[in-house]
Structure 1
Amino acid sequence: MTGIAGNSSENVAMKKRLVIFGIGDAAQLAHYYFTTDSQYEVVAFTIDAAYLTDSTLCGLPVIAFEEILKQYGPEEHDLFVALGYSKLNAVRRGKYVEAKALGYRLASFISSRATVLNAGKIGENCFIFEDNTIQPFVTIGNNVTLWSGNHIGHHSVIKDHCFIASHVVISGRVEVGEQCFIGVNATLRDHIRIGERCVIGAGALMLSDAESEGVYMGMATERSRVPSTKLRKI
């Protein structure tokens, strides 16, 4: 699913048709990335009827998810669930499961600007941004988001429904359980296990295993007692 498609009429005709679930920032980003760097043509957005506030987004129709089978059936369309990490990824997980039950194939986006060396061991509905490095023998499950600039070390396993923010370092042979959130600039040493539904905060340093449903926060920087106007070298 990687690679930038050309603009010729032949390439346009070959593109797969994609519907994006969501109307927020993640959905707009998905539209941008799939449109500029994939073999998909985004044809519509969809959202639950209770959250339907406008009929168009990015110049494309927005329809109620309850009506999707009537207009954009799974025989001719794939689906991408573009949601964030709300409720420890449970909202995105629930919609992923629902879409699968309706018969849709869930597309993944893998940036052509990512370094992917794990022989394609990446599941469905993954959103892998630019500048990620995925080393050999890594396994990435379904419905995983890797924001930009992460390092996923050799032989590591990222299980289903995880969200990993930017500039995270996951060292070799780490296992990350389902529905985890890992914040910006967190570092995980090698050979540790992160249990299910853990929150690893921004800047956290993990040197040992994390129990399921644990919250691990990095230390926030406090303001100095010296005001900036008193600093002589700045």
Structure 2
Amino acid sequence: MFRSKENHLYSSEIAHYLGLDIAGKNVPVNFPCHFKTMKENGFTFIPPTEVEEVKKLKNVLLFCPEDYDISINSDVAFIPCANPKIAFYRIVNEFFIEQLPHSIANSAKIAETAQIGINVNVGEHAVIIGDVTVGNNTFIGNNVTILGKTTIGSGCVIKDNAVIGSEGFSFLEVENELMHVPQIGSIKIGNDVWIGSGSSIERPSLGITVLENGAKIDDLAQVGHEVRIGANTQVAAGTVFSGRVTVGKDCFIGVNVSVRPDVSIGDNVLVGIGSVVTKDLPGDAVYAGVPARPFSKK
């Protein structure tokens, strides 16, 4: 994880780093900030609709759209660009945050069978038990539990109180009683995966639960047994995937979405907040509602 830090750069240096041009005053900048709380020597990005407030600013750097009227204020620096928000966060990531040193807390419990990579952080009271492999440069927060046959790639972030490898919810009715189905499958988590606080990734009975490279899971999400989440798919807080769900790559699943078992969601799909997915959703489209219905093509 990381913390913010101040730095001291001129607007021209930032523009040069991005391969862009600067317009207006060559302002020195020390810190990023929100547009609504701008202070002198700060920098931020602005939408094209912001005009009157920009006229009042002084000695700040603004990333703006390429067609923005930069003549409205000569006391600030402008860097016109195709995507001001992305340009802004590139500079924040490069110059205004620092990575916290990784360590393994004394209170963490790590089984001898676990294989932990280089520069891995394991937080206070974390528990890692079973045939677990953790790749290099992965951050495991406080009170995280990782169990069973679990492989975690490099550069992952697993936030506080997440549980990976808990048994999936599976019972069979036998002579009017419910018999628990033992979950002895495995979990595979790719590189650069983010798992939010309090989220649960369940292992299946015999198969495998997979989070592909770059998948991002928000807080308090439930990924059921034998689910597969595609590369670079984002899953917002409170979402529940029942067993054997498949989600394609480059999707965005909104807050508090519920997906029934055995459903398949295609690539490049957006599912709106609070939707209930009861059947397969083809790719390259937007869906919303209860049950989820096509809203538009992407």
TM-score scaled by length of structure 1 = 0.52
Post-superposition Cα deviations, 1:175-214, rounded to whole Å, max 9, x if no partner, equal: 0011110000011111010000000111111100000112
Matched, 1:111 2:150: no
1:58 Cα deviation (Å)? 3.5
Matched, 1:215 2:215: no
Which has the bigger relative contact order, CA under 8 A and spacing at least 6?
Answer: 1
The equivalent position to 1:130 in structure 2, one of 197, 214, 218, is 197
Query: 2:187, 2:209 within 8 Å by CA — same for their partners in 1?
Result: no
Matched, 1:139 2:210: yes
Letter in 2 for 1:203: G
Matches within 5 A, 1:1-234: 30-31=1-2, 49-50=17-18, 51=87, 53=91, 56-58=95-97, 106-117=154-165, 119-136=186-203, 137-218=208-289
Q: CA RMSD in A?
A: 3.1
Cα distance in 2 between the residues matched to 1:174 and 1:186: 13
**Identity percentage of aligned residues:** 26
1:31 Cα deviation (Å)? 2.0
1:79 Cα deviation (Å)? 7.7
Cα distance in 2 between the residues matched to 1:170 and 1:59: 35
Cα distance in 2 between the residues matched to 1:166 and 1:108: 18
Pair 1:209–1:124, CA change in 2 (3 A): same
Pair 1:212–1:53, CA change in 2 (3 A): closer
Q: Is the radius of gyration larger for structure 1 or structure 2?
A: 2
1:109 Cα deviation (Å)? 1.1
Pair 1:145–1:53, CA change in 2 (3 A): closer
Letter in 1 for 2:211: I
Cα distance in 2 between the residues matched to 1:108 and 1:134: 14
1:120 Cα deviation (Å)? 4.5
Pair 1:110–1:205, CA change in 2 (3 A): same
Cα distance in 2 between the residues matched to 1:59 and 1:196: 34
Aligned length: 137
Query: 2:154, 2:190 within 8 Å by CA — same for their partners in 1?
Result: no
Cα distance in 2 between the residues matched to 1:123 and 1:185: 24
Q: Which runs of 5+ in 1 are unaligned?
A: 1-29, 33-46, 61-75, 81-104, 220-234
SS in 2 for 1:113: coil
